[in-house]
Structure 1
């Protein structure tokens, strides 16, 4: 916190917490895809790449429910 910055209200803390939860899911998905290096080898249209990426992440979350969010 900065020295003269006012404290956040309870409402703003809840908003920030909800945003962090949603963002964490996306960050974990990106990290997973980067470790597998899938996107570097994928050669197709962006629309099809999106569908393939979503399917891969769904299968990953089914196999590893710890990271489901």
Structure 2
């Protein structure tokens, strides 16, 4: 019975995570892509801005993944 509840919990997590990723994470990724496409690549601030966008995406992902908690 423990195995069935584990797999059920994993299925629900994956289901809810996919919805969250589509609604919450994808706009952050789109913002990162747009910044990478349009910002001047010769400017040093551009690199810091890209790193900032990547860190925002990583923080959002790891706050909802199973391998890390919100902290």
Interval of TM-score (by shorter of Structure 1 and Structure 2): 0.3 to 0.5
- Give the TM-score of the pair, scaled to structure 1: 0.37
Which has more radius of gyration? Answer: 1
Q: Comparing both chains, which one has the higher relative contact order based on Cα–Cα distances under 8 Å and sequence gaps of 6 or more?
A: 1
